Chain A
Amino acid sequence: MILAGCDGDRTWRLQDYVARGGYSALKKIVADKVAQDAIIAELKTSVLRGRGGAGFPTGLKWSFMPRSFPGDKYLACNSDEGEPGTFKDRDILRYNPHSVIEGMAIAAYAMGAARGYNYIHGEIFEVYARFEEALAEAREAGLIGQNILGSDFSFELFAHHGYGAYICGEETALLESIEGKKGQPRFKPPFPASYGLYGKPTTINNTETFASVPFIMNMGGEAFLNLGKPNNGGMKLFSVSGHVNRPGNYEIPLGTPFAELLEMAGGMRGGRKIKAVIPGGSSSPVVPGSTMMDCTMDYDSISKAGSMLGSGAVIVMDETTCMVKALERLSYFYFEESCGQCTPCREGTGWLYRVVHRIEHGLGRPDDLDLLNSVTTNIMGRTICALGDAASMPVQSFVKHFGSEFEYHIENKKCLVPPEVQYAGSQIYVSPSC
Chain B
Amino acid sequence: MLSQESLQQIDREIAKYPPDQKQSAAMAALRIAQVEKGWLPNELIEFVARYLGMAPIAAFEVASFYNMYDLEPVGRHKITVCTNLPCALSGGVHAADYIKHKLGIDFNETTPDGKFTLKEGECMGACGDAPVLLVNNHHMCSWMTTEKIDQMLAELDKK
A residues neighboring B (CB under 8 Å): 72, 81-87, 89-90, 115, 117, 121-126, 158-166, 177-183, 198, 239-243, 247-249, 282, 313, 315-317, 321, 326, 329-330, 333, 336-337, 339, 425-430, 434
Contacts and interface: CB of A to CB of B under 8 A. Distances in A.
Contacts of B66: 122, 162-165, 183
B68 A164 contact: yes
B61 interface: yes
B31 A163 contact: yes
B153 interface: no
Interface string B1-31: 0000000000000001110010111111011
Interface string B111-126: 0000000000111111
A181 B61 contact: yes
Contacts of B68: 122-123, 163-164
B126 A123 contact: yes
Given A165-B65, A247-B90, A333 B127 contact: no
Nearest to B24: A180
A87 B26 contact: no
B42 interface: no
Contacts of A166: 122-123
Nearest to A337: B122
Given A123-B68, A126-B140, A326-B85, A241 B130 contact: yes
Given A86-B127, A248-B128, A315-B89, A181 B84 contact: no
Q: What class of interface size applies to chain B in its complex with A?
A: 35 or more
Contacts of B21: 179-180, 198
Nearest to B31: A163
A428 B90 contact: yes
Given A124-B140, A160-B16, A165-B67, A426 B130 contact: no
B24 A239 contact: no
Contact of A247 (B61, B83, B130, B146): B130
Contacts of B58: 180-181
B23 to A, nearest CB: 4
Contacts of A159: 16
Nearest to A81: B125
A397 to B, nearest CB: 14
Contact of A241 (B86, B137, B138, B146): B86
A84 B84 contact: yes
B125 A124 contact: yes
A82 B125 contact: yes
B139 interface: yes
A136 to B, nearest CB: 12
B76 interface: no
Contact of B127 (A198, A239, A429): A239
Contact of A427 (B91, B123, B144): B91
A73 B21 CA distance: 15
Interface of B: 16-18, 21, 23-28, 30-31, 52, 54, 58, 61-62, 65-69, 83-86, 88-91, 93-95, 121-131, 134, 137-140, 142-146
Contacts of B27: 160-163, 177, 180
A166 to B, nearest CB: 7
Contact of A83 (B16, B18, B123): B123
A330 B7 CA distance: 40
A274 B112 CA distance: 45
9 contacts: A122-B66, A124-B124, A125-B139, A164-B67, A179-B24, A180-B27, A181-B58, A427-B94, A430-B143
**For the complex of A and B, 6 pairs with smallest distance between CB atoms:** A428-B91, A180-B23, A164-B68, A180-B26, A123-B124, A125-B138
A159 B66 CA distance: 18
Nearest to B52: A180
A90 B94 CA distance: 25
B142 to A, nearest CB: 7
B83 A329 contact: yes
A115 B52 CA distance: 21
Contacts of A72: 18
A127 to B, nearest CB: 9
B60 to A, nearest CB: 10
B90 A333 contact: no
Contact of A179 (B23, B94, B122, B130): B23
A243 B137 CA distance: 27
B69 A163 contact: yes
B24 A247 contact: no
A106 B123 CA distance: 31
